Structures are given as structure tokens and as C-alpha cells.
Amino acid sequence: MTIVDDTTTPPCAYEPEIYLDELLHSPPARTDITAAEWDALTVKRATAHRQCAGCPLMVECLYRAVVEMDVSGYVACTTEWERQTIRRRLGIQVNQPTTAAYGAARVGGGPVSHEAVMTARQAYPKDTCHQLADRLGCSTSTIKRHLRRAREQKRDAALSPTLTPNLPTIDAVLDVFDELETSKVA
Ligand code: SF4
């Protein structure tokens, strides 16, 4: 992989709260939010998507978020689920914690991290989703999304007992990305 030496500041650096918006990087089902919230989310996603698509770091950003580190946030035109889809199709996994970048630590009204939810789940295994949400100060749907993600990761690990030893090329990642709906949005 070639890392571009580019001093241009990416758009996400100016508006990190958009890229860390949990509704954006881990979208709810249409029925989980109101029509007004859905419309606002659509506009926000279109804005972030447009900025990522025009970002000079887009290719490197996508590659690293897919292959090198399982970061939180809306990154390089992809949600967490879309990046997981790319990894599944490539037959790879990344084991780094999601708190390592893109500010997954919860600060003020920021997003609760996947790691925080799983830690709470482990500490309070008999808690309902509602009780866990109260403990972490987030919504019940947030807890459900993270628990669903953990189940999906566990399932993927079971389906892929032998991991690909070599890292995929940038072209391989881009080929799978091109198959996703998000790559076709202008
Ligand atoms: S492509 Fe990556 S670096 Fe560029 S704006 Fe999007 S998230 Fe930021």
C-alpha cells in the first residue's frame, strides 16, 4: 500500500461530530426513528458521503478502516456494517479494539463504544437491554445494535475458522467496495 504524503486536512477533521454520529455509522432501522429523524439522517449521510467521496485520503482511509483497524464512525463512505461486509467478502478479520481511533470513547453526548457495551454486558449478564442502556446513558436500540454486531462477529468467526494469511490488496478492497450500494451514491 502506498501512503499518500498529503498535507490536506480531511473534511472529517473539521466536523468530527458528524462522522461519530452513531445514527450515521450504525444506522437504525427505518421503523426505529421518526420520519423527521430519518430525513435528518438522510441529509447528514449524504453530506458525509459527498465529503468522503471527494477526500484525497479516501482510498487509504477505506483500506485502513477495512484491513488494519476496526474503527468506530462513518469512514470513507462506509458504515461499520458495510466495512464488516467488505471484510466478510474478502475473508478477513481485524481484531483491534474499536476504541483506538475516531474517538469511540464516550464524551458528553458522544457515541457509546462497542467495547463499552460488551464490557457492561459481561459485567451485568442478567441485565436487560433497557437496564444496560440506563447504565451507559444511551438508548436501548444502541445496546441492541452493539449486541447484534457482537453476534454477527461471532458468527463470522465461526464461518471463517481459517483466516486469509495475506492482506488483501487495495484493488481487492476497492472491488468489493464497488459492489456496495454506497459506492453508487453520487
Ligand atoms: S475519506 Fe476518511 S479521511 Fe476523508 S473525510 Fe472521509 S473519513 Fe475523513
Domain that holds residue 98: 15-184
Q: Is 175 part of a structural domain of the chain?
A: yes
Q: Is 144 part of a structural domain of the chain?
A: yes
Is 18 close to ligand 1, i.e. is its CB under 6 Å away? Answer: no
pLDDT at 108: 42
Measuring CA to CA, how many Å separate 17 from each of 13, 24, 148, 170? 9, 10, 24, 28
Is 76 close to ligand 1, i.e. is its CB under 6 Å away? Answer: yes
How far away, in angstroms, is 25 Cα from ligand 1 center?
A: 13
Contact 19, 12 (CB under 8 A): yes
How far away, in angstroms, is 60 Cα from ligand 1 center?
A: 9
Q: Is 91 part of a structural domain of the chain?
A: yes
Q: Is 4 part of a structural domain of the chain?
A: no
Choose among 109, 102, 113: nearest CA to 150: 113
- Type of residue at 121: R
Percent of the chain with pLDDT over 70: 82
Q: Is 64 part of a structural domain of the chain?
A: yes
Structurally, the chain folds into a number of domains equal to: 1
pLDDT at 160: 62
Is 67 close to ligand 1, i.e. is its CB under 6 Å away? Answer: no
Q: Is 131 part of a structural domain of the chain?
A: yes
Residues of the chain scoring pLDDT < 50: 97-109, 164, 186
Give the global pTM: 0.65
Q: Is 158 helix (H, G, I), strand (E, B) or coil?
A: helix
